[in-house]
Structure 1
Amino acid sequence: MELGHPADAVQRALTSAGVRGMEVIVPSYGPVEVADAVCQAGGVPVFVDIDADTFCVDPAAVEAAVTSRTAAVVPVHQFGHRADMARIGRIAEQRGLAVAEHLDQESSSAEISVRQTNAAYLTRRLTDVVTPSIAPDAGHTFLQYVVRVPGNGRPDRDAFARTLKSRGVRCRVPVQTPVHRLPLFRRDVWLPETERAADECLALPVDAGMTRRELHRVASACNALGGLLQPA
């Protein structure tokens, strides 16, 4: 297995595939380093939407975006959830595309196991947010435990996050701005699931070093906000 940043491996794979001057399909919801890697390899990023449940690139969106200029696709295993490599692989084979996976940062099996246990604990106890989905046979290492905060999109999500932080709970917005809306990569495309995820999602802590008491505090703080942010 090659070491280094996952985006470095993507750039090497795309360079080897000869994508210079060609289109490369990537998700907009995710790390900007992926689009950077495409550009460094001489390709042109084409941004597509994600699956609403897994936050990974939607294979149907990949297939719809393929043109005569498409050379490759970069599936990102988002937040530790594996992309649908079986469907993407079939599309790539049928359309003659290279596949350059953006792999997760390396973790030990022990770390992954503890994160999965911590994630399962939160999933059982959280009541007022939409907890992560795991597609059948996909697997999830929970590099980030990402929930959706229901309500009025970004204003309610941001208020929810501020209140959690004021109560000592670490949380963060996993993707502040989709890549296709950043100045360097701006594209005139509408990606509804990407936009909705950017407005609703919040990452809660499930670090391997967390105690059960800390996890309980996270769940309790979130559940206590169930009615707080609703209109009077």
Structure 2
Amino acid sequence: MGTVETLAAAGIGAGDEVVVPSYATADAAEAVRRAGAVPVFADIDPDSLCLDPASVAAALTLRTAAVMLVHLFGRRADLAGLRAVAARRGLIVVEYEPLAPHDENARRRQANAAYLNARLKGVVTPATGPGIEHSYRAYVVRIPGNGRPDRDAFARALRARGVCCRIPVQTPVHRLPAYRRGLWLAETERAAEQCLALPVDAALTPRELHRIVAVCNALGGLVPEAA
């Protein structure tokens, strides 16, 4: 059963609100709209980059009928925390796209991510620790500093040195014309300014991994914009 069908089966439609993340693609918000409901945006946890239960709790209204979470970049959202928030109001929790079981490619990405985590300097690597599940569909780091120009300059410098990288979320959904809201989601805005996805593909060779580390570390963190 698809997401729209899941919402419809739960009786969610016109007049209802569904809390979704803004730091993601617009797919979850669009699914809510196709069900006839209204997407309401909540902020993210800075470590997981997934919905923050406290922000979800603050976004609830009398019209809220569900919470839709997105497991982002292979990192699992706080399902237990979100269910606890939803249970207090009798809401349903919908996973936009359940995480697939780990396969050989996921294990290789995890090994590549562990290599990068141990060696990268000058960037903030993904949070790790007991109980944290991450299949690294994308390896997303933060370029700390004064915002978007620093991250973008760093990305251009990487590409100029032959390292592919991409901005994982160009524009938070609540700032897209079709969904624009007068919100300030602090962690979402910060992630949109700082985050950068580096290569972590299962097919990367040891030499390619070493080059990613060498190029990133040689930049020494932030790269200033040219005057």
TM-score by length of 2: 0.94
Q: What is the aligned counterpart of 1:11 among 4, 7, 10?
A: 4
1:107, distance to aligned residue in structure 2 (A): 6.6
Identity of aligned residues (%): 57
Where do residues 1-232 of structure 1 align in structure 2 (5 Å cutoff)? 9-21=2-14, 22-103=16-97, 106=100, 109-134=103-128, 136-226=130-220, 229=223
Q: 1:231 to 1:37 in 2, by over 3 A?
A: closer
Q: Aligned partners of 1:90 and 1:190: how far apart in 2?
A: 25
- Mean alpha-carbon deviation: is it higher for 97-106 or for 84-93? 97-106
1:12-49 Cα deviation digits (max 9, x unpaired): 21121222120000010001111100000111000010
1:10, distance to aligned residue in structure 2 (A): 2.1
Q: 1:184 to 1:169 in 2, by over 3 A?
A: same
User: Structure 2: which amino acid aligns with 1:13?
Assistant: T
1:159-210 Cα deviation digits (max 9, x unpaired): 1001101111110000000000000000011101000000000000100111
1:64, distance to aligned residue in structure 2 (A): 1.3
**Partner SS for 2:51:** coil
**Partner SS for 1:25:** strand
TM-score by length of 1: 0.92
User: Structure 2: which amino acid aligns with 1:94?
Assistant: R
1:103, distance to aligned residue in structure 2 (A): 2.3
Q: Aligned partners of 2:220 and 2:195: how far apart in 1?
A: 16
Q: Aligned partners of 2:5 and 2:100: how far apart in 1?
A: 18
Runs of 4 or more consecutive aligned structure 1 residues displaced over 4 Å after TM superposition? 104-108
User: Structure 2: which amino acid aligns with 1:99?
Assistant: V
Structure 1 unaligned segments of length 5 or more: list them: 3-8
Do 1:56 and 1:75's aligned partners in 2 also have CA atoms closer than 8 Å? yes
1:105, distance to aligned residue in structure 2 (A): 6.3
1:106, distance to aligned residue in structure 2 (A): 4.2
1:109, distance to aligned residue in structure 2 (A): 1.2
Q: Aligned partners of 2:210 and 2:129: how far apart in 1?
A: 26
Cα root mean square deviation, aligned: 1.7
